[in-house]
Structure 1
């Protein structure tokens, strides 16, 4: 198969992400009843209002991006706003607890609610998800690979931000390694990096015609990068992994070579079946299979795809062949529950790539904002009295 000469295009200069939507397009994207309310209040007289923002499920506070956007919009309107963030970034927030109190002109704020909540709810749930994963496997590094699961670039930015919030919370609470990077350059700054992380998709393996050739092409193009190789394309995970190790013994010895397991759930990795999966866990983590397990947990342990047994199978093969420093990167369906099973099995994973789990639980991402005071007088709809401030020293 003939291929064009190796060329690497220079990356485009990264531009700062602009607030979206800009102030002059807010009305186009907000709920109509808010813009009509704005017109009514403009006609009959403005009022100072205080909003309480909350969610209906436990989350981690990830409010900065939403509040920064709100502050920018208000400033562009030549107004001021008081934003009280009740929780620090990464704090656990109970269901129904106000996270933010916002006080300012009703005319100025009313049409910003729709967009503010869009930027807050999903981020708080994703931060919770990221934190849950990191807590289950504190010794494992994580990569946020969710960009292609997002509904556009704005959501991708929110998810990267949220992953960094959840990761930092886990680092504080349990000393977890947490998220060490993500897949795109635009959001790498959330993880203290200048660029995204990643080596090769399955498409490069198909283009190269073999796993080894893809590894050679990548290393020739990026000789200073660590070499992480996908090994499931041809269904020869162990065979191809060892072939690559023998081709790059120096990288393997220095710990600069890694094998990424991404086997889909329709088959076992090379050399495994149900019985041999049990045998591998019996050798390496017998307690993991001797307790009660749900069907899902059992599948994560000894089932098809990237199971705990599959990870141990790869680790045993690498060690037997004299490559103990070669890393294992696992992806494919990793959630907090799968991470818990991997922890129970002491699966020897160095890095986990997670994609769809960060923006999961979409039905639970809805944030709500209620006005709880008008011109300093407490007033909220019946049933939402829990949003009122209780400290007599507060403005209410």
Structure 2
């Protein structure tokens, strides 16, 4: 963990390959496209003295992530990695379309079979980091930075959590749902209560909150108040019961439901979409809490939030204090390409591609296995 903290402070060039957990079968080519494996065999037998430069880029304005992982991969599985010449940008760097983010020079048979894996690492990590960055940016449209909790555990395979958590951190989310998402930072996951807890107390939000508070008195008490689809009624119940011990309430109303508040106030209907967590419901909740002197109670929202939806909330100054975001942050919308652009020191790229020197690239130091 000290290495990671040092890296973030700019004290060392790179994380080492000891930081990452890799499947040993990578070295056997198990995860490489077969044509890369065949090309490696041909290079070994027919062109043993080749020396190529492979260059990686993508086509968006983005927040780069995955370079340390890609470099650790190379240092772990390439043949004689200490002889390779690697230049790279750093995780967290802002990048432009077609900007070179990583170059590797050496014999193709040393590392070429890792091309697709490197593309995949950079694509996923950069996509998540960029998605999170854009959501965090949207959450400060109104001028104040609202915290964004990364809640992507239920939206993808569990094996992705650690890497996605790292990418989310690079993108600007410092609060994450699981321990795995936080493992690189030496922190633990954060969370309040699920609907399952309230269900076991037969929908009694006060009883569920009391049990939580008694079991975890060191935690901030944040009550989930949409179980009965009556967020204002239940929020006031827990606020009256716990007073200043209640730090916040969370709304996670399904997009298929209309909260009972609107069913009691028909005159409000007809001018907006009343389903799910909507601005009018949050305004009404804030007003109800304030009228009973619960101004200290924060409001957290979750359930289908995206960059555009958060931006809409912020532009309307909806009184949200924290956003919980999941699935929209995991969309892979940035793809990387690795091209061989030099052969034995001379330009030799496919038509339409060329070496794109980037003065921002830094030479990578080999740390050993």
Aligned residues: 336
Q: How many angstroms apart in 2 are the aligned matches of 1:390 and 1:141? A: 34
1:66 Cα deviation after fit: 3.0
Q: 2:203 matched to 1:198?
A: no
**Which deviates more, 308-317 or 65-74?**
65-74
Q: 2:149 matched to 1:149?
A: no
Q: 2:343 matched to 1:374?
A: yes
> What is aligned with 1:338?
309
1:203 Cα deviation after fit: 1.1
**Which deviates more, 38-47 or 87-96?**
87-96
TM-score of the pair, normalised by structure 2: 0.84
Change (3 A) 1:157 1:21: same
Q: How many angstroms apart in 2 are the aligned matches of 1:75 and 1:384? A: 25
Q: How many angstroms apart in 2 are the aligned matches of 1:275 and 1:54? A: 55
> What is aligned with 2:321?
350
> What is aligned with 1:94?
96
Q: How many angstroms apart in 2 are the aligned matches of 1:193 and 1:241? A: 33
TM-score of the pair, normalised by structure 1: 0.78
On the 8 A contact 2:99/2:358 being kept in 1, the answer is no
Q: Report matched runs for 1:157-196 at 5 Å.
A: 157-167=162-172, 179-189=173-183, 192=185, 194-196=187-189
> What is aligned with 1:245?
239
Q: Report matched runs for 1:29-108 at 5 Å.
A: 29-44=31-46, 45-74=48-77, 79-85=82-88, 87-108=89-110
On the 8 A contact 2:66/2:122 being kept in 1, the answer is yes
Q: How many angstroms apart in 2 are the aligned matches of 1:156 and 1:390? A: 32
1:107 Cα deviation after fit: 0.8
Determine helix, strand or coil for the equivalent of 1:165.
Answer: helix
Gaps of 5+ in 1: 1-15, 168-178, 280-298
> What is aligned with 1:268?
258
Q: How many angstroms apart in 2 are the aligned matches of 1:354 and 1:80? A: 43
Determine helix, strand or coil for the equivalent of 1:258.
Answer: strand
Change (3 A) 1:17 1:205: farther
Change (3 A) 1:268 1:17: farther
Gaps of 5+ in 2: 1-17, 364-369
> What is aligned with 1:11?
none
Determine helix, strand or coil for the equivalent of 1:337.
Answer: helix
Change (3 A) 1:303 1:374: farther
1:78 Cα deviation after fit: 5.6
Please give the root-mean-square deviation of Cα atoms over the aligned residues, in Å: 2.5
> What is aligned with 1:389?
357
1:213 Cα deviation after fit: 1.6
1:269 Cα deviation after fit: 2.4
The superposition leaves residues 101-123 of structure 1 with CA deviations (integer Å, 9 ceiling, x where unpaired) of: 12222111111112111111011
